[in-house]
Amino acid sequence: MESDKRVGNANPPQKPMQAHGVLVLDKPSGPSSTQCLERIKRTLGQRKIGHAGTLDPLAQGVLLVLLGQATKIASYLTEGRKQYQGLLRLGVETDTYDVLGKIVRTSDCSEANTQEIRTAILEWEGLTEQEVPPYSAAKHQGRPLYALSRSGRDVPVKRKSIHIYQAEVLEMDFPLVRFRVECSAGTYIRSLVHSLGKRLRCGAVLEELIRERSHPFVLDQAHGLQAVLDEPEAFAEKVIALGEALPHFPQHVLSPEQARIVRHGGRLSWNFSSSVPYGAEPPVQGTRALFLDERRQPLALVELREADGVLQWTILRGLF
């Protein structure tokens, strides 16, 4: 009688169910943000997936992966401040403004002194706009700039508004300079480095970049990509539930009748309940909040707006 021998794993790990929430990923340097998402989608069966705040292939650190219903809140996570730690190299310029690009010029930077470099980095705090890199996903007439660059076509110079809240030098080991910067969403750190090199007249290129914070989440909360992929049974534990994904939004629990009104697109008065913690005076117009139903499940993102002569909570995004 033949023995019943089976080759390989007869019971491969089961893919987790579709999650609804935020995975704080520690993106590795190398793959693009989209490639990281594709691996999670394919390996862990997360069909509905997106992210808030793209990281370049060179960059690593906090990437907010949005799953299921959380893809609806992308814009409210993307708009937050970002904090980066970077390493730049003086005396080199590339077409992409980072070390992954083609070298277009090298220079002698021996005349740049430490005080001049430090001053130039601190001057980032005075910037209100920057030039968009020619190799970027920003679009011109519907085409990304990197596609125009790779095809050899002229790339229009685009500028965008930015805000640098803080910049500091952490370490200097000439020609390498390590720095930290806190900035508005969408700021190109490699453009900051490129402009620094132009001001110092010797060129500079971004060699390493770590996103330490993407408000309201930090690197200490992040999970490595390989650990996420290798532990499908623990995936759900790593996902921050949708109701906790916007900790900077005040939360209000609605009664069944109030929830019914909101589900039908209606508004609620700013003081619809005694549990709303604003006292006798209404909060300022534009205040945002998260409405939960009686089971404390996310119902809608709302904003306080004037309607019919009074302040009312108006739906920004339904989550039910």
User: What is the CATH classification number for the domain harbouring 172?
Assistant: 3.30.2350.10
- What pLDDT digit, counting tens, does each position of 196-224 carry? 999 999 999 999 999 999 999 999 999 99
Rg (CA), the chain: 24
Tell me, yes or no, whether 141 and 40 share the same domain: no
Concerning whether 4 is annotated as a catalytic residue, the answer is no
Mean pLDDT of 57-77: 96
- What pLDDT digit, counting tens, does each position of 284-295 carry? 899 999 999 999
Predicted pLDDT of residue 9: 52
Predicted pLDDT of residue 283: 80
Query: Which of 51-55, 90-94, 154-158, 288-292 has the weakest average pLDDT?
Result: 154-158
Tell me, yes or no, whether 239 and 305 share the same domain: no
Burial class (CB in 10 A: 0-12, 13-18, 19+), 73: buried
Highest mean pLDDT among 129-143, 156-170, 241-255: 241-255
Q: What percentage of the chain has pLDDT greater than the value 70?
A: 86
Predicted pLDDT of residue 140: 47
Mean pLDDT of 45-65: 96
The answer to the question of residue 234 being in a domain is yes
If pLDDT is split at 50, 70 and 90, which confidence band does 3 have? very low
Tell me, yes or no, whether 99 and 86 share the same domain: yes
| Cα separation, 288 vs 294, whole angstroms | 20
Helix (H, G, I), strand (E, B) or coil at 207: strand
Which is catalytic among the residues 4, 26, 56, 95?
56
Predicted pLDDT of residue 33: 96
The answer to the question of residue 27 being in a domain is yes
- Are residues 110 and 205 in contact, defined by beta-carbon separation less than 8 angstroms? no
Residue that is last in its domain, among 226, 244, 262: 244
DSSP 47-116: -SEEEES---TT-EEEEEEEEGGGGGGHHHHHTS-EEEEEEEEETEEETTSBTTS-EEEE---TT--HHH
**Which among 176, 238, 221, 248 has a CA at the least distance from the CA of 61?**
221
Q: Which domain holds residue 301?
A: 251-318
Which segments of 129-173 does DSSP mark as H helices, in order? 145-150
The answer to the question of residue 41 being in a domain is yes
Tell me, yes or no, whether 107 and 159 share the same domain: yes
At 304, which helix (H) or strand (E)? strand 298-307
Helix (H, G, I), strand (E, B) or coil at 224: strand
Number of domains into which the chain is organized: 3
- What pLDDT digit, counting tens, does each position of 118-150 carry? 999 999 998 999 988 776 555 545 555 555 456
Mean pLDDT over all residues of the chain? 89
The single-letter DSSP state of residue 221 is: G
